[in-house]
Amino acid sequence: MIDVGTPGTATAVARVPLSKKRPQKRHIPVLATAALFGLMYLVGVVSYPGFSDTQILLNIFIDNAFLLVVAVGMTFVILTGGIDLSVGAVVALTTMISAVLLRENWPAGAVLPLVLLVGTLLGLAMGCIIHFFEVPPFIATLAGMFLARGLCFVISDASIPITNSTWTGIADVRIWFGGFRITISVVIALVVLLIGAFVLAYTRFGRNVYALGGNQQSAMLMGLPVARTRVAVYTISGFCSALGGVLVSFYMSSGNSLHAQGMELDAIAAVVIGGTVLAGGSGYVFGTVLGVLVLGVIQTLITYADLNSWWTRIFIGALLFAFILLQRVVNRRT
C-alpha cells in the first residue's frame, strides 16, 4: 500500500511541482495588471513611431512620481480595509505652505521638514478620529479633504510661484545614465516604493496591516495592536501625501489651491488596478507601481492619438470596473 501523504512517495513527488506551478489566486489581479501593461505598451510600440524609446517609459515615471508616492501611502490604507479621500487636498496644501514660506525667505531646509510634519499630523489626526471615535474612514477623510482644501484657499486663491534657488535647483537635477535621464523626484519615489515594499513584506507592522485588513475581529482576538496599526497607516498616508506635494511643487514650480484635484481618485484607481483588494487584506506595493504605469501609458497613448484628455477618465473608469469584478470573482472562488 502506498501512503500518498508520506513525503518521498511517487504520488507526493508528482503533486508538489504541480501545485508550485499554479499561481496563487491572490496573485491573479497583479498578473492581470502586468499583462495589461505589457499589452498596452505593445499597442503603443506598434501604432506610434518612437513609442518604443526607453525615454518615453522613463517620462511616465517622471510625470507620475508624485502619484506613485501618494499611491504607496494609499496602499497601506486600503490594505486595512480603509480609504483616504484627503490625499489630493493635502498635496495641494503642502504646495501652498511651501510656496508661501519660501516666498517669505524661509530656508528650504526648514520648509521641507515642516510641510512633511504638517501632512503627517493631519494623517495622524484622521487615524485617531477613525479608530477611537469609530468614524467611518470615508467620512473622516472627506472632512480632512474639505479642511485641507479650504486651508489652501485661506492661504491664497492665486497661484504662488516658487523661485527659491535651493528648491528650484533640486527640481532641476537630472540624473543621466546610458543617454537617458530621470529626475530626483523619480529617485525619491523609488526609495519610498522600496521602503513600503520592505515594510509590508518583512516587518511585524506589515503583517499586522494584512491581518487587520483580513479580519479585524480576529486580529483583536490574537492580541495584535489594532489601534496602533490603524492610526499608523493613516499617518503614513499623510506623510506620503505631503511628500507627494513636495514633488508636485518640484514639478510645477508653484503652489496652487487647485493642484492635485482628483488625485485621490487616481491614487485609489492605481492601487485597485494594481491588484489590491478594496476590502483589504490582499495586495502588493509593486502591484501599485504597475497600476501607476498603466495610468501613465493610458495618458501617453491618448496624447499620441491626439484625443480629448477626458478619454483618460473613461478608460480608467472602465478598467476599475473590470478589476473590481475580477477581484470579486477571485474572492468567490477562494
- pLDDT over threshold 90, residue 50: no
At 158, give phi and psi (nearest 5°).
-115, 160
For residue range 222-232, list pLDDT tens digits in order. 999 999 999 99
- Residues 137 and 144: their CA atoms lie apart, in Å, by 10
Instruction: Note if the pTM is more than 0.95.
Output: no
Place of cell 543617454: 179
For residue range 64-86, list pLDDT tens digits in order. 999 999 999 999 999 999 999 99
- Residues 110 and 40: their CA atoms lie apart, in Å, by 43
Q: Which domains does the chain have, with CATH numbers?
A: 25-333 (1.10.3470)
- Other Cβ atoms less than 10 A from the Cβ of 119: the count is 29
Q: What is the mean pLDDT of the chain?
A: 90
- Other Cβ atoms less than 10 A from the Cβ of 325: the count is 10
Overall average pLDDT of the 157-167 stretch: 96
Q: Which residues pair with 171 in a beta bridge?
A: none
Single out the residue of 197, 303, 294, 292 nearest to residue 244, CA to CA: 292
- Residues 238 and 312: their CA atoms lie apart, in Å, by 27
Got the DSSP string for 78-91? Answer: HHTT-----HHHHH
Interior angle at CA 117, CA 116 and CA 121, nearest 5:
120
Tell me the percentage of the chain whose pLDDT exceeds 70: 92
For residue range 117-133, list pLDDT tens digits in order. 999 999 999 999 999 99
